[in-house]
Chains A and B, each alone.
Chain A
Amino acid sequence: MHYPIKSSGPWGFVQRYNLLSNLFLAVIAGLTFLPFYFLLITSFKNISQMQHHFMSPTLPLHWENYVIAFNQLIKYFWNTVLVTGISVPGVLLVSSMSAFVFARYSFPGRTVLFYTVISLLMVPFILTLVPTFVWIKQLGLLNTYWALIFPYVAGGQVFAIYLLRSFFATIPNDIFDSATVDGANIFQTYWRIALPLTTPMLSVVAIVNTLHVWNDYIWPLVTLQQDNMRTITIGLRYFQGQFQINYGPLFAGYILGSLPLLILFLLAMRPFVSGLTSGAIKM
């Protein structure tokens, strides 16, 4: 909105540069980041520095806090990387295959099957938590990575199919027609034409699901009871119990646990932001 600025003088200056809005936003951002400020400065302190200089950064920086935290958390970190590395490509493959045929083909049962999938968006996590746990136990999958991977792929694909189907439907027919003329079958059309054209939406699906795997707490907490199997979120929780008053290594661990997603965010800001917004449509 560009309104003509009527007043001049100091008030005009304030208006021209939105000083009040910027000031207010700075206050909001400052309060939002205040806990992270304490997190960061404390992660470099030893016990004495923390007790005597609570609010300000101190020197020397105790990098060994990060070494202690890293050595303890690295195994949890790899567990999460492994689970993400299998379940996210799994979601991408399974959901894109279904979304592709739902969008581009007509076949008996198409509408019913599609709405069967989409209606699952209405099923909250809390309904299936306990029965899925008992079922995973009966299948003998407790304390295996599959206890996470199968439900993540099964659950993650639902919203992905919803997103991808509408994207596939927007691809112009001509592209598919010419592929048919050239003799491409359904598999070639999917792999060579549909998938490459869908890369932006696939990256959104990948980001939404990566965020979910890195944030999920309750499900890995109940299905992975052996320490060496734990994911990073659970690892951080148990890590907390080990340091009674020595907050330095503890907070270094929290920062290390947050870094992978932060790096992902900095590398892929645009799909990240659109991914978060589209992730919001899920109810």
Chain B
Amino acid sequence: MNTTQSIAPGSSLASHEKKKSLATRLRKSGAVYLFLLPTFLLLAVFTFYPIISAFWHAFFRWNGLTSEFVGLGNFREMFVIDRAFQASLPNVLKLTAFRLAVAMTVPLLAAELIFSLRSSRMAYFWRVLLVVPMVVPFVVMILVWLFIYDPQAGIINTLLRSAGLDDWTQLWLGDIRLALWCIGFFGFPWVSGLNLLIYLAGLDSIPHELFDAAAIDGANRIRRFFSVDIPMIMGQIKLIFIMTLITQLQNFQDVLIFTNGGPGHATMVPGLVLYHSAFFYNKMGYASAIGVLLFIIIFVITAINMRFIRSDIEYTPE
């Protein structure tokens, strides 16, 4: 990071500046603080205050107007009383595990296929084509899949009926055994444009000498994939892993539109319990407590990831 420059008087790092008193330096940096003012004003009002409010009210019964201290009562309610919350935990674990497995494999496979093409024009074509669905608003994607699953007019059941397989038609999202899997299956074949781009960026950055060396050593394509490609893009793999994990643990947008947690609590996830508590039952304190719990889980995972899981293979060309 470059810090030495000499534009505004009083703000340079010249050594004589450092000897001046803090008051002088603060005064002389006035214009700099003016530049920071909008950022910190907005953060104070719309970010810092809500964060403090979340941690504070997690220990209160709070309806948005009046609050009453309940200690750990909200957390006790989650694990002892609230059936919806308890049902949501295995669901979110299953969904997250499924989405992780998918994000680790399908976009990587597509990226390897694109990367292996000799024609750079074809590679560019496939890359752009598979990224295009990203610009379709998420809500539209969900609504289209709602149509795919529709028991009457939906694509799956219509195709089954026209194939004479009427017995195979299902209620899909309305079936208590199938609903969660239907939500997991949403987005098939799961080539997320974003993940594809990240994997491709990783593959593109592998030095060519490594491929040549692998070829000379007689490694075939599969062997190279496991011995060269995978270790070299470990950073990207971890990034996608942690991103998917964080997104999925707090996600409830698709469930809200698909099933609203039902049938029963078959597709309930913690984020949706939070949403219902706050916006239908006006239990703002309880909802804040769920938010705090999810934040702590996400924070711990991120911290573990940053501290203990480092890329251990580095390559520096001579």
Contacts and interface: CB of A to CB of B under 8 A. Distances in A.
B158 interface: yes
Contacts, number: 290
Interface in A146-170: 150-151, 153-155, 157-158, 161, 169
A41 B78 CA distance: 47
A186 B8 contact: yes
A283 B50 contact: no
B137 A127 contact: no
B144 A32 contact: no
A226 B181 CA distance: 34
Contacts of A135: 46, 49-50, 53
B43 interface: yes
Contact of A280 (B35, B42, B194): B194
A103 B5 CA distance: 10
B137 A232 contact: yes
A38 B193 contact: no
A25 B113 contact: yes
B71 to A, nearest CB: 19
A108 B116 CA distance: 51
A16 B49 CA distance: 61
B111 to A, nearest CB: 10
Q: Is the interface of B mostly helix, strand, loop or mixed?
A: helix
A35 B208 CA distance: 38
B135 A261 contact: yes
B139 interface: yes
Interface string B160-202: 0010000000000000000000000000110101100110010
Nearest to B257: A237
A228 interface: no
Nearest to A172: B2
Nearest to A23: B113
B7 A180 contact: yes
A115 interface: no
A103 B35 CA distance: 12
B100 interface: no
Given A29-B130, A123-B51, A130-B284, A215 B25 contact: no
Interface in B22-69: 22, 25-26, 29, 31-33, 35-36, 38-40, 42-43, 45-47, 49-51, 53-54, 57, 64
Interface of A: 1-3, 16-18, 21-22, 24-25, 28-29, 31-33, 35-36, 38-39, 50, 54-55, 93-95, 97-98, 100-101, 103-108, 113, 117, 120, 122-135, 137-138, 150-151, 153-155, 157-158, 161, 169, 173, 176-177, 179-180, 184-187, 189-190, 211, 214-215, 217-218, 222, 232-233, 236-237, 240, 245, 247, 251, 254, 257-258, 261-262, 264-265, 269, 272-273, 276-277, 279-281, 283
6 contacts: A113-B40, A117-B39, A131-B288, A169-B1, A173-B4, A222-B279
